[in-house]
Structure 1
Amino acid sequence: MENQIVKKAKVYSRTNFFNKTYCVFKGVPLRAISRRKPHYRSESGSTYYYTTKGVFRLSNHWGRAAKCNWRLASEIPVEIDDLRLGYADWVDFRENLGEDIDAYYIRVDFETKNVSYVHRENPEYDNIAVLRTVDATRKLIKQIKNLLDTHKWAKYYEYDDLETFRKEVILKLINTNMTLNELRRELASQQY
């Protein structure tokens, strides 16, 4: 029996969550911190409120934060001056791998037309979506949003139902290493 090296998952807490991590914070209303005093205020003005299970972050900027990638998933409207409050459990934090490492995959909700990126250590990862670097992921997300929000691109192709065609095109981009230009050429060649 071969010895297997098992990589132990890093444990995050208030002392290290801000050091090269990826996390999706869940939006919460401001009243969740109404009786709390901030434990830390960053140079950029974000405030942090620690609990034993996780952290609240009140900020007007999400996405890249120093060497972290912190997203906010929220349906809660902005309440004060672009400030949004998010909460994440310590177990929700993942190591933010290097810029050149394929660490993210793309997920699309076709009903809401919401496109997001997810860390490869997400327990819901299906091993079908292609893992990409952070920059490649961001570039593809922009292209997918354009495919979702417009229909002009589709006028060059024959299809029965635009929404079904749109979904097929986007899933092919997510689940293969094919570029949008390569896919367009493939689709054009199928038209004849």
Structure 2
Amino acid sequence: MEEQVITTKKFTRNNFFKNTYCVFKGVRLREISRRKPHYRSESGSTYYYTTNGVYRLSNHWGRAAKCNWRLVSEIPVEIDDLRLGYADWTDFRENLDQDVDAYYIAVDFETKTVSYKHKDNPNYDNIAVVRPVDATRKLIKQIKNLLEDHKWAKYYDYDDLDEFRKEVVLELVNTNKTLNEIRRELAAY
């Protein structure tokens, strides 16, 4: 059997802003208190480079030009709507074209949260279906509704709502079945 080699582009301060995907980790503003910004974007975001990565101070996350940058943070907003995130250069991935299968969905059933991750994530389990970005976003909306609401489940016979919800969501994440197809299968039981 042939071994698959995954090559990833090396990102630096000179190219990290060119069509990339990254998950920044929230950090406190004191991390940059003695630093001067290396760059300020037209939209007002400031960037502070280090040898290993970059700090980004911004009031907007998600789509940034042709990049897709998420912020995962438990830190409350410290100034206005500004949030500070940090990412190592090795956290950046090439943001592939809109129609390329590049993202998978991760669900935390305890906190009832759902997010998407790049297929090059070292934690990818090779079980969740990899989809294009728009299909992934649409599916996340459906999954959020399933996790937050219970009205949809009243038409089905189940013993434990949380287990039933998990079963339906995992079917969506790990197969190419649509929510309507899953509902029809459940109704047939």
TM-score by length of 1: 0.95
- Residue equivalent to 1:13: 12
Q: CA deviation at 1:19?
A: 0.3
Query: Segments of 4+ in structure 1 off by > 4 A?
Result: 4-7
- Residue equivalent to 1:128: 127
CA distance in 2, matches of 1:20, 1:120: 16
Aligned CA-pair RMSD? 1.5
- Residue equivalent to 2:151: 152
Q: 1:59-88: per-residue Cα shift (whole Å, max 9, x none)? A: 111111100110001011111111110000
Q: CA deviation at 1:8?
A: 3.4
One-letter amino acid matched to 2:86 = Y
One-letter amino acid matched to 1:81 = D
CA gap of 1:22–1:5, structure 2 versus 1, over 3 A, is same
CA distance in 1, matches of 2:158, 2:5: 48
CA distance in 2, matches of 1:5, 1:170: 30
**Which secondary structure does the structure 2 equivalent of 1:64 belong to?**
strand
- Residue equivalent to 2:85: 86
Q: CA deviation at 1:58?
A: 0.5
**Which secondary structure does the structure 2 equivalent of 1:106 belong to?**
strand
Would you say how many aligned residue pairs link Structure 1 and Structure 2? 189
Q: CA deviation at 1:130?
A: 0.2
CA gap of 1:164–1:58, structure 2 versus 1, over 3 A, is same
TM-score by length of 2: 0.97
One-letter amino acid matched to 1:158 = D
CA gap of 1:109–1:6, structure 2 versus 1, over 3 A, is closer
CA gap of 1:170–1:36, structure 2 versus 1, over 3 A, is same
CA gap of 1:165–1:5, structure 2 versus 1, over 3 A, is closer
What percentage of aligned pairs have identical amino acids? 79
CA distance in 2, matches of 1:174, 1:73: 21
Unaligned runs of 5+ in 2: none
Unaligned runs of 5+ in 1: none
